[in-house]
């Protein structure tokens, strides 16, 4: 069953066309990697999933709901089912890790402090962080990989059906990148989370993807299993996958 579906989506900003006839679907519990050269509309695609942008034409269906047709109240409800993992973590610098991870529960629930603390500990343990070691620390006191894992803990604490990742391994060393990749897979396997991942990291993408969607010239160049991208002789795809420069 498809949890996310794009149907002939076009998006223009004034006279500039950014998305051209985008159609694809993401199955429930799958990890879909959206890739492609810079400027091909990857971030624009995920912003449409939660209604941050509306298409010029076409439709986006998320969990059976037409996102462009949602009113503000319906969009708020939809966004409670979707978590964001931003490229640089987007943790609040002035808050320690406990305050950061608990923030969604404090803002959106009426749970007791004991219940919140329990959920914070569970979320941190899920992403491989030891609560006793990190709760009192501030983001700048953590490594880049630990910051991203703490941000994912904050994202998962509300038990979203979908997580949108923007370059989750950007700026990380190979070991930290592998930890994040294995965490994305773990969230799929243990919590049944459907993921849409924007990435330029081809090696890590092949580790996690159930489906790969390559954007090119404002449209979908290919939408297939990872095996297709490993074996295809299409010159545009090979150039991107192999990192071959035209210069």
Report pLDDT digits (tens) over 45-76. Answer: 999 999 999 999 999 999 999 999 999 999 98
> Could you tell me the two tokens for 228?
């297709």
Fold classified for 1-81+160-247: Rossmann fold (3.40.50)
Question: Average pLDDT in the 210-239 region?
Answer: 95
pLDDT digits (tens, 9 = 90+) for 76-95: 899 889 988 876 557 899 99
Q: What is the 3-state secondary structure (H, E, C) of the chain?
A: CEEEEEEEEEEEECCEEEEEEEEEEEECCCEEEEECCCCCCHHHHHHHHCCCCCCCEEEEEECCEEHHHCCHHHHHHHHCCEEEECCCCCCCCCCCHHHHHHHHHHHHCCCCHHHHHHHHHHHHHHCCCCHHHHCCCCHHHCCHHHHHHHHHHHHHCCCCCEEEEECCCCCCCHHHHHHHHHHHHHHHHHHCCEEEEECCCHHHHHHHCCEEEEEECCEEEEEECHHHHHHCCCHHHHHHHHCCCCC
Q: Burial level of 86, CB count in 10 A (0-12/13-18/19+)?
A: middle
Q: Residue 222: beta bridge partners?
A: 214
pLDDT band, residue 108 (cuts 50/70/90): confident
Domain positions in the chain = 1-81+160-247, 89-159
pLDDT band, residue 247 (cuts 50/70/90): very low
Query: Chain-wide mean pLDDT for the chain?
Result: 93
100 neighbors 92 (Cβ within 8 angstroms): yes
Please name which of 28, 134, 152, 171 lies closest in space to residue 91, comparing C-alpha atoms: 152
> Could you tell me the two tokens for 51?
């209604």
Does the pLDDT value for residue 114 go beyond 90? yes
pLDDT digits (tens, 9 = 90+) for 154-182: 999 999 999 999 999 988 899 989 999 99
Does the pLDDT value for residue 136 go beyond 80? yes
């Amino acid at each position: 069953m498809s949890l996310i579906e794009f149907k002939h989506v076009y998006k223009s900003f004034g006279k500039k066309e950014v998305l051209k006839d985008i159609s694809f679907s993401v199955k429930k519990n799958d990890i879909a990697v959206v890739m492609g050269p810079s400027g091909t509309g990857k971030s624009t695609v995920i912003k449409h999933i939660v209604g941050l942008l509306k298409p010029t034409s076409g439709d986006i269906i998320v969990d059976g709901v037409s996102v462009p047709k949602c009113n503000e109240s319906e969009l708020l409800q939809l966004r409670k089912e979707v978590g964001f993992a931003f490229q640089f973590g987007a943790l609040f610098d002035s808050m320690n890790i406990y305050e950061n991870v608990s923030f969604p529960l404090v803002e959106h629930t009426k749970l007791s402090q004991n219940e919140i603390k329990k959920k914070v500990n569970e979320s941190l343990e899920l992403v491989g962080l030891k609560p006793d070691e990190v709760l009192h620390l501030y983001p700048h006191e953590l490594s880049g990989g630990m910051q991203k894992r703490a941000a994912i803990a904050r994202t998962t604490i509300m038990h979203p059906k979908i997580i949108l990742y923007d370059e989750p391994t950007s700026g990380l060393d190979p070991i930290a990148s592998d930890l994040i990749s294995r965490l994305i897979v773990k969230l799929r396997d243990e919590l049944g989370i459907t993921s849409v991942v924007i990435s330029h990291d081809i090696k890590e993408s092949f580790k996690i993807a159930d489906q790969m969607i390559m954007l090119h010239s404002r449209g979908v160049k290919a939408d297939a299993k990872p095996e297709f991208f490993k074996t295809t002789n299409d010159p545009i795809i090979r150039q991107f996958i192999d990192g071959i420069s035209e210069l």
